[in-house]
Amino acid sequence: MNAPPLDARALGKRFRREWALRDCTLTIPKGAIVGLAGPNSAGKSTLLALAAGLLAPSEGSVAVLGRDPLREPSVLAEVGYVAQGAPLYRGFSVGETIELGRRTNSRWDDELVAHACSGASLATKVGALSAGERALLALALALGKRPRILLLDEPFAGLDPLAGREFLKLLMDGVAETSATVVIASHVIADIERVCDHIVLLAGGAVRLTGNVEELLESHRILMGPRRPLGPIRGVSEIVRERYSGRQATLLVKSDDVIRDPSWTVEHVALEELLLAYMAPERLPTPRPAERAALRWHG
């Protein structure tokens, strides 16, 4: 029972000759709310589909709740997955959709689904719902099985800010109720920043950064000072990004100690800026033609 909710070892997925995800090793701690960040076609959807047992790895392995989702599909009863665009049967009513969920899942919590759908009319056809209402319904169905891990692929795409906030409220309420671990894939960092306490950053099919949000913010700093040849700076273990404008230098650094060098002004870094620095193209070792493959897979 103490296996991590999601554990990938050198996981890779190739579509024809192109790698959508490669050499992905990561462990997601129990109870975390994970922001799976990265630009479009970074491999986010592929990672979630591998974890949900919808795809077979081309190399490496993935374990969900300690089990291989393909060899032991029984684990999927405890995995909630909402694909991009919250696909549901448009011709079904809300009530019929909920009934379908009840009959096709071995674990089902009527009370939780009723609470989550309290604003919806059961007779309404799914096709007549707004994007926000459909997203809420899909989330309610995923929560209904009381998942131990919930995988959400770009849940905010197509939602206006108000619908996005309603979605987050229902999601966080569901987490408070079920203590599920959550992985939210999103290319918009602002959408997930409010809730995630753990980050996995993918770019070009590879893991660029992973860790606890607070620890990541604590171990990075922005340094500002006059432009000069850079030597070692005490307290700095790595320069992640350098930027220059005129005589001014701005560094984003990884820090392992207090930086006391008086020639630098030291500031904290915001999550969005940190992630942008780590997904910068100059940090990618060898560009892989993964983009087209991932796009094709989405149709």
Partner 1 sequence: MIEFHLDPRSGVATYLQIVQQVKEALRLGTIEVGDQLPTVREVVADLAINPNTVAKAYRELEREGLVVARQGRGTFVSNTLARGTIRHHDALRESLERWLDAAQNAGLDEESIRALISSTLRETLARRVA
Determine which residue in the list 59, 72, 109, 173 makes contact with partner 1, applying CB under 8 A. Answer: 173
The answer to whether 109 contacts partner 1 (rule: CB under 8 A) is no
Q: Which pair of tokens denotes residue 270? A: 């915001």
Question: Which DSSP string corresponds to 97-120?
Answer: HHHHHHHH-SS--HHHHHHHTTTS
Count other C-beta atoms under 10 Å from residue 234's C-beta.
11
195 binds partner 1 per the rule CB under 8 A: yes
Closest CB 175 distance from partner 1, rounded Å: 6
CB-count burial class (<10 Å; 0-12, 13-18, 19+) for 123: exposed
- Per-residue binding string, partner 1, 233-272, x by CB under 8 A, is -----------------------------------x-x--
**Which lies closer to partner 1 via its Cβ, residue 192 or residue 253?**
192
Q: Tell me how far, at minimum, the Cβ of 160 lies from partner 1, in Å.
A: 15
- Cα separation, 56 vs 25, whole angstroms: 16
- Give the pairing of strands 18-28 and 220-226: unpaired
Rounded least distance, CB 128 to partner 1, Å: 26
109 is written with which tokens?
């919590």
Query: Which of residues 14, 30, 125, 165 is near partner 1 by CB under 8 A?
Result: 165
Binding mask 32-51 for partner 1 (x = CB under 8 A): -x------------------
Least CB distance to partner 1 at residue 33 (A)? 5
- Using alpha carbons, list the distances in angstroms from residue 162 to 120, 168, 211, 276: 16, 10, 29, 26
CA–CA dist 150, 112 (Å, integer):
15
Residues forming contacts to partner 1 in the complex (CB under 8 A) are 31, 33, 165, 168-169, 172-173, 175-177, 193-197, 214, 268, 270
